[in-house]
Structure 1
Amino acid sequence: MFAFPRLIRRILTALVPPALVVGLLLSGSLAPAAAQAQPAAPAQAEAADFKARLGQWQDALNKAANRVAVGDLVNTEYEALRAGLTTVQHDAREAGAAAGAQRETAQRMLDALGPPPAQGAPAEEAGVAAERKRLTQTIAELEGRGKQADLIVTRVDILLRTAADQRMTQLTEQLVKRGPVPLLPSVWAALPEQVAYMQERVARAFTIVLDEGEWRERFLGLGVLAAFLFFIAWPVRRALLRRYGHRDMPGDGGERPGYRQRVVAMAVEAIARCLMPVVPTVALSGSLVGLLRDVYDAGPLTTLILGVSGGLTAFFLVTGVARATLAPDHPAWQLADLDPASARRLVRRIALAAVGLALAGTGIGLSEGLFTPPEMRAVVGFGTMALIALSLLSLLPHRLWIAAAEPAAETDCGCPPDAPDVTLPAPESPAEPAKPRVVWLRLRLLIGAVALLSLAASAAGYLTLAVYASKLMLTTIIIGGVLLVARGVLRELLCVVLERDSGQMAEVRDMVVVTDRGRRLVGHAGRAAIDLGLLAVAAFFVLPLTGMTVTEMKGVADGFLGGVTVGGVRIVPGDIMSAFLVLGVVIAVTRFVQRQLDERVLRRVAIDEGVRNSIRTGVGYLGTTMAVLMSVGSLGLDLSSLAMIASALSVGIGFGLQNVVSNFISGLIMLVERPVKVGDWVVVNGLEGTVRRISVRATEIQTFQRASVIIPNSEFISKAVVNWTLKDKTTRIEIKVRVTYDSDVRLVDALLLKIALGHNLVLRNPEPVVMFRDFGPSGLEFELRAFVANTDHILPVRNELRMRIIEQFRDQGIQMPFDQRVVHMPKVEAMLETLLADRVSAGPLLEVVSDAGNVVPLTEKEPKAVS
């Protein structure tokens, strides 16, 4: 969090247009020869300057090493020491980086001269030899500077770690150092004298301040300021709570307000109940401390003011956040999903506990700031620990943390879900009532354990350790509650931005993301960023309580972003973050350019959809390639160093990734040659459908059954593909017709032509034709051939023509024969012949009833074919 400027510089460096760099290089190459032949004086001056700075760095490191060796560093000395060493380290790193850049430039110039002549070869020209010698010396000198700078950086790292370890050791020794045991009679025997001494100090401070008329006037002015702030803050607070806070909503029928309304009300309640009283308190206490800063022997009064203001601030924050989230007077506005009765009891208990915690915090601040004697400090500390333990333990009973029966359902962005379309039946009431569910059980147990252990530690004489643990725990609880409120507000603001339909914010959002999927991704990324930012804020407030100073936190952040070396490989998270940011920014810009190009340029030109897809895809490939190259450049990687890796990968590509490379090359060919375009009607490998998308590896085809088929691009290049719409969407329709042999063929021909010409989608040029194809086994076979202008009309035109043919043929009495089949059954035929022969020889002729109902004599002896 402290190294963002450096990270921004990295990102801007990665985003510098390559053309600008090329222009600068060309301008340098085209500079006059006189400007290139610089005298040696600047180089000598630079060497002298580095030598002087090196001496200063070494002196500073020697002094710092001597001070660290002495030990017993106080906070101010430690801060000053770290600040000075960090400055030296920064200067040394910059000097080393500059020397490395100059060395790289000199090495490139030396490489341009080529290798020196081999032994026995003719000597090179004197000027070239002198330049080679000068460049060699320069490279050696610059290498020496870089190594000296690296040595300074390493020494600073060692000193910083040594000082940090020493200070941590001091802190540990202070925490485990045992003081007077507050329960011993000897400690209580020394209290009267020490209490009298402290009363005398505080009374003297009040006397010094109040005896002067000037201070009376100042206090009077501060009182007027306090009254003014009170009379401003109180009406504003009441107005905010009445208008936007928890309130009774008329006409709502007792329904619970929406999630967004509850979040807004929670934010308003938190601001009105926390900031409104806290800001005047902090302002007045800060003014008083500033006025008393230069007053002699007014330290006790200053400590008292700070302790009281700190206690009041903690009270307002705790009670304000509790009432904002739990809404005891208006349960419908609650966000914590606690049972209303439990919420009301918990708010009352939190108020009492906040009073106890405020008094305990004031007592701790006074005992530390007034430099009280050890015995008195032990007794007061034990009393404050007992008060803290009682206050916290009063908040732990289960009956205060019973969850609501029906917690509110919420979506990812914090908005209430849509109402279900189907009303589900109410669940049957269970035979036994469900046990109430309690929340935050583990956290409450942890808080109670820390409070009891702190009390036990103070009773045993380890007051410093008890105060340390209590401060850390209470500060974490207060900051965690405030940041949870801020988290809900920030997430809801993000949700509002993503859901807004109009306005400037919606226009800016639509420039970046348009689809619902993109908005969901932005929502997830935004929520993660909010959580990370709030964690950073929490760390900024909590880590100083652990003994870590601001400079240490800055050093940790710089060290993390600056990188660590693992196994000879340096990992730089700052560069990695900048690379990902550059990649995301360039890809987002590419998508924006694609969208604007497609919507505002290509559509107005009215070019083919396939050409638009090719242009859009090409711009996407170009932008993605630039994003990858820029992100790799921001990592500081030399692309030439990847040549060996690429050559090694080529072997693997040749054996294991043949299909992937083949599909990739085929995709590029398809985008350039365009044998298949988006929107074409194609048939490949027996699959027929419309091309929907052409990507790098495969092409998506949507069949007429609405199924998506992914076909590798190599299939379109290496195999036969039927493209109905490659050059022209005009296509021919063939309709086969069969009529009986006794039909008038001239009439059939005329009817088919008339039907085709009567359809408005059938083209007149080329005109429809009727072909008498063949004498079929069941009838005469004709074929109607007609052309339509668009392949989309094939199915409806074919369907309409067939229905008209049926209607016209029925009107004209033209019949369409069924398929005739002759089936021979030799065994059955032989059996029938035998039966017929026996019947004829035995008696009169057999009479058979025909289909028409007539009696027909059967006189034929031949077997009949059974159809």
Structure 2
Amino acid sequence: MSSELRRSTLPSRFFWLLRVWLCAVMLLMPIGASAQDADTSTDISSFVLTKEGAPDYLAWSRVAERGERVLEIGRASDQALSELRSEIAQWRGLFKSAQDENSIRIDTLKTQLATLGPEPEDLGSELAVLAQRRKELNAELSKAQAPVKEAEESYARADFLVREIDSMLRTRQTDQLFKLGPTPLNPAAWSTAFAALKKTFATAASETRNAWGSDAQRRDLQADLPVTIALLVIGLVLLTQSRGWLIRLGGRLRQMRKGPSRGVVGFVISLGQVIAPMLGLSAFLIALNLAGVLGLRGQAIADALPAAGLLFFVALWIGTRVFGAEASHASLYLPSSVLRAEARINVTLLGLLLGILVVLRQVGAAEAYSESTVVVLAFPVLVGASVLLVRMGRLLRRHLGAQDSGNHSAFRTRVISGIGRVCEAVGFVSPIAAAVGYTAFAEALLLPTILTLAVLAVLEILNVFVKAVYATVIRADDEIADQALFPVIVSFCLLLAALPLLALIWGARATDLAELWAQFLNGFQMGSTRITPRAFLVFAIIFVGGYAATRALQATLRSSILPKTNLDKGGQNAIAVGTGYVGLFLAAVIAITGAGIDLSSVAIIAGALSVGIGFGLQTIVSNFVSGIILLIERPISEGDWIEVNGQMGYVRDISVRATRIETFDRSDVILPNSDLVSGVVTNYTRGNSIGRVIIPVGVAYGTDTRCVETILREIAEAHPMVTVNPSPAVIFQGFGADSLDFEIRAILSDVNFMLSVKSEINHEIARRFVEEGIEIPFAQRDIWLRNPEALSGGATTPKADLADVPAQNLTRDSFTVEDMNGEGEGDE
């Protein structure tokens, strides 16, 4: 494989991707960034258009034939394939636009044909005028659709070629990834590799000495000496001192603030720990360029330093933010300061090794090192990075992944433990693969894993920052922010935004992502309608607007209009709820129409599905229909006291599926509406709150019944809740087993106070009966003993002697039996 192809392999692009992304995050301009992009854009002017502005299909045919030949031969370089793909992709975009040509004319002709009705099976049965007109319209429609059909055919051909080129590039990438190269363990290659590296630095030093000794260079240096010295001083100060200054500044500012705002201030100040050193490094390199002391080799090394420095300083920042010196300042929890310090050191060294690898790759490309030399020089770096990755994996698995649910959720614990295991596995496999000779595979496995950990760490840091900002804005504590939904949504959006970067890190090409985005924008076909993101966005906007308008109308009805009518509360609620359902239905219909979605083609499928859904959801549908009946007929209303299926309480809410009642013990019971429609419901307060109370009373035998009746009537009539008309009644029910049974039957003005009225009347009955000397008896029982000898320990008691026991001594609570010898007494 050529050196050009090796420089465009997957691991080489990782460093460029990381450099560009992190520079954008830190608001820095990438210095010396060289993107080896596989796609080279083709200007739109390269397309050949006809005078009418349509694509020149003859020119496209030549391009397509050239692409087919290139794919058939399969010898073109990656760069040539990428350029060809870019050209064909832009042709494809032109054909996509051409498919919308004559759309208005085509729709008009179809409408005209529809007005003529369906074409009859018997051609002779139609009027000659209509047949002639139908023939003319069909001819015009075919003519209008011809360019569209040609564009569709060309689009399909271009899309096939693009996919074939992508497949070939991915195949080459896979072959390069699993290519067996020279092993770094070959001692014969060590001397050559170290000699090449030594020669590079020796040549760079020689070029610097020669440039320093040049008279022209000295004059240039003297002319720019003040600026050069100022930049050198600024660069050295920022590189050596700025991070410590910012750490102390952040500590002081955090001490001056309280609550979640401390985290916001700490995050903002911490960004300077990357920005300030990078500015210092940039100033230092600019000063060296002004001094003109760098030769070709020195310039190649200097061009790699910004990316290497960015990796190092970002690793420092990630280690400090994720594993802070203080547990309260760390995004991830570690139980001791020693473990946190170890984690920070591991992260920093990983960044340093990646920076060294970037410099080696840049210098190797500039010096055209042999493949064996690059492998030997990169192997120690890969081994060191693998060891550090294993150490980080063990920290994550043993300490972060082993925390209980008090510090981390179960899902978070499993994820962290899983990440730790993956890091350990990659750390063990990568150096073995590199030692065998699969260096490209080892780098493609190790480097993306490290960069993925960096991306996940940045996402964790941003997650903590978002929670702190949210808590600061709403002036809440951290616990409330942890339970809030808004920070979760923001963090999820950040994760989605990071997915393209993760795809690029793991080997996806920019053209692959562009292709996915194009397919996403193209939407999907549903019947005769294509659902695109634009159509979905229009649908969402119209529906949300209709939903908001419906809720506003419901609020206006409930607060301003309905209270001024004579409708009861249940009727007002029925109108408001019905308005809501009608509004939502209209909003959905208008949104579907506005988005241009034609669902007529899926009506048959929807009809078939409705049968199965009807069987599965028949209970829900039954409750829904019952809820509509309840809202229309209103046999019960909110606030009614009802009893259904043994459940008694007040109706608190009536919805279309279920009704909520509040029982007297303050618990909520959800009743399906079908039970209220098809079952037996007792409504104690329907229409009015008048109801009857029945109070049973028992007196001892021998009591004057007329006196009892008079007393009970006086007590009932004296209570303020008992109505005068109809007046209360006292009923002598009959002769009970233990008492003479009476009942007070009274009508209450408000049946909701039934229990309190019962209690007050019973208190008054007890007081009056005591005053009148009327006894309220307890239950009376006569007990006859069939085997009295069992009570005397087996002694026989003649039956004749048992007759001598007085019957009045055998009461309800106890009885006494004396045996023949008069020795014992038994109780029951």
Q: Same fold (TM over 0.5)?
A: yes
Counterpart in 2 of 1:785? 746
1:96-135 counterparts in 2 under 5 A? 96-97=99-100, 103-116=106-119, 119=122, 124=127, 126=129, 131-135=133-137
For residue 553 of structure 1, give the secondary structure of its aligned residue in structure 2.
Answer: helix
For residue 621 of structure 1, give the secondary structure of its aligned residue in structure 2.
Answer: helix
Counterpart in 1 of 2:33? none
Query: Which ranges in structure 1 are unaligned for 5 or more consecutive residues?
Result: 1-45, 250-256, 416-436, 510-518, 829-836, 840-844, 852-867
Counterpart in 2 of 1:452? 431
2:483 is the counterpart of 1:483? no
For residue 243 of structure 1, give the secondary structure of its aligned residue in structure 2.
Answer: helix
Deviation of 1:794 (Å): 1.9
Which piece of structure 1 moves more, 83-92 or 492-501? 492-501
For residue 638 of structure 1, give the secondary structure of its aligned residue in structure 2.
Answer: coil
TM-score normalised by length of structure 1 = 0.67
Counterpart in 1 of 2:162? 160
Larger relative CO (CA 8 A, sep 6+): 1 or 2? 1
Counterpart in 2 of 1:769? 728
Deviations 1:542-565 (A, max 9, x none): 444555443332222332564579
Letter in 2 for 1:167: L
Counterpart in 1 of 2:274? 274
User: In the superposition, relative to structure 1, how do residues 324 and 709 fare at CA in structure 2: closer, same or farther (>3 Å)?
Assistant: closer
User: In the superposition, relative to structure 1, how do residues 211 and 762 fare at CA in structure 2: closer, same or farther (>3 Å)?
Assistant: farther
Deviation of 1:140 (Å): 2.4
Counterpart in 2 of 1:337? 334
For residue 689 of structure 1, give the secondary structure of its aligned residue in structure 2.
Answer: strand
CA distance in 1: counterparts of 2:352 and 2:787, whole angstroms:
113
2:311 is the counterpart of 1:314? yes
Deviations 1:96-137 (A, max 9, x none): 2565675455323312222346748675374x5554334322
CA contact (8 A) 1:414 1:495 kept: no
Deviations 1:705-759 (A, max 9, x none): 5565554433433444322222222323333445678777776566545544544
Deviations 1:554-577 (A, max 9, x none): 2223325645799x9999795998
Counterpart in 2 of 1:802? 762
Deviation of 1:307 (Å): 1.0
For residue 374 of structure 1, give the secondary structure of its aligned residue in structure 2.
Answer: coil
CA contact (8 A) 2:769 2:775 kept: yes
Counterpart in 1 of 2:98? 95
CA contact (8 A) 2:700 2:775 kept: yes
CA distance in 2: counterparts of 1:455 and 1:665, whole angstroms:
70
CA distance in 1: counterparts of 2:243 and 2:237, whole angstroms:
10
CA contact (8 A) 2:394 2:421 kept: no
2:252 is the counterpart of 1:243? yes
Q: 1:184 aligns with which of 188, 208, 224?
A: 188
CA contact (8 A) 1:205 1:301 kept: no
2:666 is the counterpart of 1:690? no
CA contact (8 A) 2:183 2:372 kept: yes
CA contact (8 A) 2:721 2:749 kept: yes
CA contact (8 A) 2:651 2:659 kept: yes
User: In the superposition, relative to structure 1, how do residues 284 and 642 fare at CA in structure 2: closer, same or farther (>3 Å)?
Assistant: farther
Letter in 1 for 2:251: R
Counterpart in 1 of 2:629? 669
Letter in 1 for 2:188: L
CA distance in 1: counterparts of 2:656 and 2:290, whole angstroms:
72
2:523 is the counterpart of 1:527? no
User: In the superposition, relative to structure 1, how do residues 92 and 221 fare at CA in structure 2: closer, same or farther (>3 Å)?
Assistant: farther
Cα-Cα RMSD: 5.7
Which piece of structure 1 moves more, 199-208 or 727-736? 199-208
Deviations 1:230-252 (A, max 9, x none): 7996687145422356x899xxx
Counterpart in 2 of 1:403? 399
CA distance in 1: counterparts of 2:611 and 2:328, whole angstroms:
67
Deviation of 1:365 (Å): 2.2
For residue 117 of structure 2, give the secondary structure of its aligned residue in structure 1.
Answer: coil
Letter in 1 for 2:428: A
Counterpart in 2 of 1:36? none
CA distance in 2: counterparts of 1:290 and 1:576, whole angstroms:
54
1:387-536 counterparts in 2 under 5 A? 387-393=381-387, 396=390, 401=395, 403=399, 409-410=406-407, 441-453=420-432, 455-456=434-435, 460=437, 468-469=444-445, 471-491=447-467, 493=469, 500=476, 523=485, 527=488, 530-531=491-492, 533-534=494-495, 536=497
User: In the superposition, relative to structure 1, how do residues 121 and 347 fare at CA in structure 2: closer, same or farther (>3 Å)?
Assistant: closer
Counterpart in 2 of 1:252? none
CA distance in 2: counterparts of 1:825 and 1:670, whole angstroms:
62
Counterpart in 2 of 1:717? 677
CA distance in 1: counterparts of 2:503 and 2:639, whole angstroms:
60
CA distance in 1: counterparts of 2:461 and 2:730, whole angstroms:
82
2:264 is the counterpart of 1:304? no
2:508 is the counterpart of 1:552? no
CA distance in 1: counterparts of 2:807 and 2:450, whole angstroms:
111
Which piece of structure 1 moves more, 791-800 or 585-594? 585-594
CA distance in 1: counterparts of 2:467 and 2:310, whole angstroms:
26
Deviation of 1:151 (Å): 1.7
Q: 1:137 aligns with which of 136, 139, 146?
A: 139
User: In the superposition, relative to structure 1, how do residues 135 and 724 fare at CA in structure 2: closer, same or farther (>3 Å)?
Assistant: farther
User: In the superposition, relative to structure 1, how do residues 81 and 572 fare at CA in structure 2: closer, same or farther (>3 Å)?
Assistant: farther
Deviations 1:779-805 (A, max 9, x none): 47453413223x432222222222223
Letter in 2 for 1:267: F
Letter in 2 for 1:456: A
CA distance in 1: counterparts of 2:283 and 2:74, whole angstroms:
38
User: In the superposition, relative to structure 1, how do residues 125 and 333 fare at CA in structure 2: closer, same or farther (>3 Å)?
Assistant: same
Counterpart in 1 of 2:604? 644
For residue 675 of structure 1, give the secondary structure of its aligned residue in structure 2.
Answer: coil
Deviation of 1:383 (Å): 2.4
CA distance in 2: counterparts of 1:324 and 1:613, whole angstroms:
54
For residue 304 of structure 2, give the secondary structure of its aligned residue in structure 1.
Answer: helix
Deviation of 1:386 (Å): 0.9
Query: Which ranges in structure 2 are unaligned for 5 or more consecutive residues?
Result: 1-48, 789-798, 810-828
For residue 336 of structure 1, give the secondary structure of its aligned residue in structure 2.
Answer: coil
CA contact (8 A) 1:262 1:333 kept: no
CA contact (8 A) 1:57 1:88 kept: yes
Q: 1:374 aligns with which of 366, 369, 372?
A: 369
Count of aligned residue pairs for this structure pair: 732
User: In the superposition, relative to structure 1, how do residues 121 and 526 fare at CA in structure 2: closer, same or farther (>3 Å)?
Assistant: farther
Counterpart in 2 of 1:364? 361
Q: 1:326 aligns with which of 304, 318, 323?
A: 323
Work out the percentage of aligned pairs sharing the same amino acid.
Answer: 22
CA contact (8 A) 1:773 1:783 kept: no
Deviation of 1:68 (Å): 6.1
